[in-house]
Structure 1
Amino acid sequence: MWTRMETVLKTVLTLVSCLGTVSAASLGVVQTEGGSVQGQIVPLGIFRSVDVFKGIPFAAKPGIFEKPKAHPGWSGTLKATKFAKRCLQMTLLQTSTIGSEDCLYLNIWVPHGRQVSSNLPVMVWFYGGAFMVGGSMGPNFLNNYLYSGQEIAGRAGVIVVSVGYRVGTLGFLSTGDSRLPGNYGLWDQHSAIGWVHRNIRAFGGDPENIAIFGESAGGASVNHQMLSPHNKGLLKRAISQSGVALCSWALNRNPLKVAEQVAVKVGCPTDDQMVTCLKSTDAQTLSMATKIHQGTPDHPAVMNLLLSPVVDGDFLPDQPENLFHNAADIDYIAGVNSMDGHLFTSMDIPSLGKKNQSTPVKDVRRLLAAYTKDKGQAGLDLAFAQYTSGWAPDSTPSQEEIKRTAVDIGTDYIFLVSIQTAIKLHAANARSGRTYSYLLSEPSLMAGPGKPYHDWVGSDHADDLQFVFGKPFTTPKAYGDQHRRLSGYMMAYWTNFATTGDPNTGKLEVPVTWPEFTSTKQQFLDINSSMTQDSVRQDMRSRYVLLWTSTLPSLPSYHNTAAN
């Protein structure tokens, strides 16, 4: 009896699935500026589907240290059903390279109901990876494709686009002048934005309603794109997750030194023949020439990230803090994870991440000394006193106090302070553009008994990605109900914002009204799986923002003092 019922049920489900596939609309063959393309239909339910296009070229194969050029096009119909290769880069173990020089491709997810979609808002994704690694072309980790736009597109009725851009030496090496101006990865992103603006209407998108979003180096890239005069009129909105242009690692202030180090590494001279030699060097050799080095408390890893955007007088005509007038009409969300610094600080101080090892206070002082180095002993003493002011006086601090303080220092220095500064600059320069600030405070899935992290660890770096891209829905067994709740919240805020410029208004309901951040009322939303009206808060870590942006800079420079 039960077996027969199972058979009937399976038959009904199969019929429903077929009906959904047949009845839901599809774009079919789409005409782009390079030629016609055809993707795949993925059914989402009855009368709902998404067209997925993989590996559409938005520019030609780039020359080494050259800006991207228009793609020559193709004849016939391009079967856009396979991801292209990611841009050439080191493997995670830094022992070899993966990817291709021919990597300027994008992927598109277009949702449909009974009719073919039209005039949909568009969200363009830039991946992170310290400007050194990363990709959105297929599986990211353990055969798991993190950046699929299917959940976002299907739930919220927006088009999602993910793009490839050059990283590492090929994307960001620069001499700091016209010989090798750099920012090739940023030019790739800009080229993709331009392609989307010109072609997305054919896919049912609104070219006047483009939002860009990204995380870490991708979040900093988003901010750089907003600030560049080259994107004037192309962008409506932007979201930076855990990264802005003002982050210490997001701008190289001494690029010539790095270029000369790379030249020596690959056997090129450092004289006037250096650039000619570098341009004729094999791309794989160049990609292996700059590696990410392990950090220590005295030399934190974030200070070893040597390849990043530069002020080139063209894409970035001035220091980022002086370019926020270019984003005056762009709506902006920027935020930070509550323990964004945990991943990095645990690498700098290995004992921090180990449950069975104690972290000495002196290691926290060493880390802080590295971050305040140019202010000497006075800067270190002042900062240390502020970060330890909550420790119980006249007693030995607990290991949790010591380790959490180290994480707070890393989070503030690497991410939070710069992000808050960017938010304030955007609000101060805004005309029509609205500003929103957030803190993601959901405990890490890696924290707790039997798990690798201490049970007090909050949202670590990159923890936001799984929720923004709906992983708790696509792989439900790996998550709990609270994670699906949080993922639903984040997709709602993000896509509402992309649609209307207001994260509270759009197709999806939100749990709490997220107020605008203004110069006079610096409110932010504390995002987690148990949100209430108390989730709206004010002045994010303001005493520490003041420490890094005002108090420490006002101290005399250690080097100047030593010279006098």
Structure 2
Amino acid sequence: MNLYSLLVVFEIFFLNNFFASGYNELVSVQQGIVRGRLITTSTNKTFRAFQGIPYAEPPLGSLRFQAPIPPKSWENTLNATEDPNVCYAIDSDSPKESEDCLYLNIYTPILDNDNGTKVPVLLWIYGGGFSHGTSLYSNFGPDFLIEKDIVIVTINYRLGPFGFLSTADTIIPGNAGLKDQAAAIKYTFDNIESFGGDPTKITIAGQSAGAASVGYQLLNQQNQGLFRAAILESGSPLNIWSFLDSNLSRSYAFDLAAKINGSQDFANNSYQLLNYLQKIDAKIIDEAATRIIIRPLPVIEVEHEGAILTNRQYTLLKDGDFIRVPTIIGTNSEEEIHQAANLTNLKNTLEKYEKTPEKFIPSDFIVKQEANISLVADSIKNCYLLNVADDEKMGHIVKFLSHSTFTTAVIKHTYLMSQYSDVYFYMFSYDGIMGNVNVTIKGADGVDHAEDPKYLFMKSDSSYSNEDLSKFPAEDVLTHYRLIELWTNFVKYLNPTPEPVDLLQNITWPMFSPNEPNYLDIDKNLIIRQKPKSPYYESWVRFYDEWAENPLTTF
């Protein structure tokens, strides 16, 4: 053993014996030794932060667009005391953008009575439409959640063309970003015990595209045994925006290359395309992606070793062919209320829909040949606008956009999944300042997309901060504590309300089932209700049953 190795061993031995084990800032993982740092929350609770731990090799050169491979070992102590690079994101100008971005952050509590007990783990996958997003501490600070004595893991994964380019064959099979997530889940399972986490008690969670990602990881049987629960906030693999048809994905791949060099002829050859794109500077690819309307998304892959999705996600859920673990899933009360921030645009949208009812038919709703398209369009239009007062019509268009873009798919996911697993459904209806969206309109509900994470994570970037809870109304802070209690109870006990407590108004959150579609309405009060978004959801089920071409992929 050389002198450096002896010094490292001594340092670990010294810290292990000088401090309680929870205070250790040096941790040994499979690849080497990691050095973290201590952070103190606004309530003076100290926790350990390990930021920028590589869970895969940098996906550079021949690894671009391909599945991740395990990270190499390192000799020197890895300094994990600040945010790592972020992945290239479409329409982003972050100076931290890099292809070398496959890192995760681990935040661990320091227990008051540390007897070596391993604690449950929450692994968070950020949203952003699969085209943007980061795991930066300023976006997803664990400070609030970690006070409930759980380990928090936040991960990066490749986005845009780097994460989701596909030629619909085995050359660039696609879903590299989802495979990154799976690699991060596996890395967490293999190493989290060194950080005080219990590998048998991992819950994967996410919001929007992060929630859809969680849904895709549930469909990936290679994850079997790596986590025991899931939380999906406002997203599902059944959402129209979470999936791209293979033909479109292949067209996108060649269109991207054409945007870089329009004179290059690839003869529709995937090998030539890959060879060309792997030699282009990443910034050039990133810039070209901003000039294409279509965004690369998860795809159904051709059968090959390493594929994680080879069948329709609707079929997999319907048949119970997924990892059956207890799940929390839900949506916000009006996911598209931000559309009402510009009333002129919203009025124009309403007029377009009224003038052309076919717009009411979602692009993934393939009408049967024998069906009358005008009848289908008018039926959906009437569901939202028939006998509605003029001053509420714009609100009802918002409602239609919320349902067709987000809510209906999430509810359908719940109905399908709850036939095989324990599922808790929620509707987040509390419209507070902490959500940071101040838009209302008559005829619509009030809570916009992406308001809920602001009640869970500490956010402290230049545009918004919730670090100081004293600046928010008491009802906001109460909702903040309630949401954290529900979510961390679930992470710990697989039950969001394991026993009656005053904070949660002594409610018991019942499970959802197709026969008893119970859900928790999270508003100023916590109320158990049935049939989320009724009667609209039931109408959509009827429309799909009567007029949509089968088999379905999304909903």
* TM-score (normalised: structure 2): 0.83
- Secondary structure, counterpart of 2:409 in structure 1: helix
Contact 2:333 2:427 in 1 (8 A): yes
Aligned to 2:411: 420
Within 5 Å, give how 1:318-357 maps onto structure 2. Answer: 318-324=311-317, 325-343=320-338, 345-346=339-340, 351=344
- Secondary structure, counterpart of 1:542 in structure 2: coil
Shift, 1:58, TM fit = 1.0
Contact 2:37 2:50 in 1 (8 A): yes
Within the candidate set 203, 217, 223, 1:211 is matched to 203
Contact 1:122 1:158 in 2 (8 A): yes
Q: Structure 1 CA distance, aligned partners of 2:470 and 2:41?
A: 19
* Bigger RCO (CA 8 Å, 6+ sep): 2
Q: Deviations over 1:256-297 (max 9, x none)?
A: 12112212112243421223222222212222222388xxxx
Shift, 1:59, TM fit = 1.0
Aligned to 1:134: 133
Within the candidate set 235, 240, 265, 1:269 is matched to 265
Q: Structure 1 CA distance, aligned partners of 2:283 and 2:475?
A: 44
What letter is aligned with 2:99? E
Contact 1:64 1:283 in 2 (8 A): no
In the alignment, is residue 378 of structure 1 matched against residue 385 of structure 2?
Answer: no
Within the candidate set 172, 177, 196, 2:169 is matched to 177
Aligned to 1:8: none
- Secondary structure, counterpart of 1:482 in structure 2: helix
Q: Structure 2 CA distance, aligned partners of 1:165 and 1:195?
A: 13
Aligned to 2:504: 510
What letter is aligned with 2:521? D
In the alignment, is residue 257 of structure 1 matched against residue 251 of structure 2?
Answer: yes
Aligned to 1:494: 487
Q: Structure 1 CA distance, aligned partners of 2:548 and 2:203?
A: 42
Please provide the CA RMSD for this pair: 2.9
Inter-CA distance 311–31: structure 2 relative to 1 (3 Å threshold): same
In the alignment, is residue 544 of structure 1 matched against residue 536 of structure 2?
Answer: yes
Within the candidate set 23, 27, 31, 1:30 is matched to 27
Contact 2:329 2:414 in 1 (8 A): yes
Q: Deviations over 1:32-82 (max 9, x none)?
A: 011111211234599952111111111110121111111112112222111
What letter is aligned with 1:513? T
Q: Structure 2 CA distance, aligned partners of 1:477 and 1:550?
A: 47
- Secondary structure, counterpart of 1:288 in structure 2: helix
In the alignment, is residue 437 of structure 1 matched against residue 425 of structure 2?
Answer: yes
In the alignment, is residue 110 of structure 1 matched against residue 101 of structure 2?
Answer: no
For structure 1, which segment, 48-57 or 359-368, has the greater mean C-alpha deviation from structure 2 after superposition? Answer: 359-368
Shift, 1:505, TM fit = 2.0
Q: Deviations over 1:473-512 (max 9, x none)?
A: 6222542111111111111111111111111128985333
Inter-CA distance 519–177: structure 2 relative to 1 (3 Å threshold): same
Aligned to 1:463: 451
Inter-CA distance 100–371: structure 2 relative to 1 (3 Å threshold): farther
- Secondary structure, counterpart of 2:39 in structure 1: strand
Inter-CA distance 204–477: structure 2 relative to 1 (3 Å threshold): same
Q: Structure 2 CA distance, aligned partners of 1:405 and 1:205?
A: 46
Shift, 1:379, TM fit = 1.8
Q: Structure 1 CA distance, aligned partners of 2:195 and 2:21?
A: 16
Contact 2:126 2:210 in 1 (8 A): yes
Q: Deviations over 1:289-334 (max 9, x none)?
A: 22388xxxxxxxxxx5531101114201211122233435311111
Shift, 1:179, TM fit = 1.7
In the alignment, is residue 363 of structure 1 matched against residue 352 of structure 2?
Answer: yes
Inter-CA distance 422–22: structure 2 relative to 1 (3 Å threshold): same
Shift, 1:454, TM fit = 4.8
Q: Structure 2 CA distance, aligned partners of 1:337 and 1:330?
A: 23
Within the candidate set 209, 233, 236, 2:228 is matched to 236
In the alignment, is residue 405 of structure 1 matched against residue 396 of structure 2?
Answer: yes
Aligned to 2:300: 311
Matched residues, number: 499
Contact 1:186 1:221 in 2 (8 A): yes
Q: Structure 2 CA distance, aligned partners of 1:227 and 1:414?
A: 21
Shift, 1:390, TM fit = 5.0
Within 5 Å, give how 1:140-219 maps onto structure 2. Answer: 145-154=138-147, 156-219=148-211
Contact 1:89 1:287 in 2 (8 A): yes
Shift, 1:137, TM fit = 2.2
Within the candidate set 516, 519, 522, 2:514 is matched to 519
Q: Structure 1 CA distance, aligned partners of 2:94 and 2:355?
A: 33
Instruction: Give structure 2 stretches of 5+ with no counterpart.
Output: 1-17, 368-372, 460-464, 550-555
Contact 1:53 1:107 in 2 (8 A): yes
Q: Structure 1 CA distance, aligned partners of 2:432 and 2:100?
A: 37
Q: Structure 1 CA distance, aligned partners of 2:51 and 2:163?
A: 22
Inter-CA distance 24–306: structure 2 relative to 1 (3 Å threshold): same
Q: Structure 1 CA distance, aligned partners of 2:393 and 2:374?
A: 20
Q: Deviations over 1:211-231 (max 9, x none)?
A: 011111111001000111111
Shift, 1:553, TM fit = 5.2
Q: Deviations over 1:183-234 (max 9, x none)?
A: 0100110000000000000111110111011111111001000111111111
Contact 1:220 1:240 in 2 (8 A): yes
Q: Structure 2 CA distance, aligned partners of 1:22 and 1:276?
A: 53
Identical counterparts, % of pairs = 27
Q: Deviations over 1:427-455 (max 9, x none)?
A: 11x2xx3101111112253999x966558
What letter is aligned with 1:227? L
Q: Structure 2 CA distance, aligned partners of 1:468 and 1:47?
A: 18
In the alignment, is residue 85 of structure 1 matched against residue 73 of structure 2?
Answer: no
Instruction: Give structure 1 stretches of 5+ with no counterpart.
Output: 1-20, 139-144, 294-303, 558-564
What letter is aligned with 1:308? L
Shift, 1:515, TM fit = 0.8
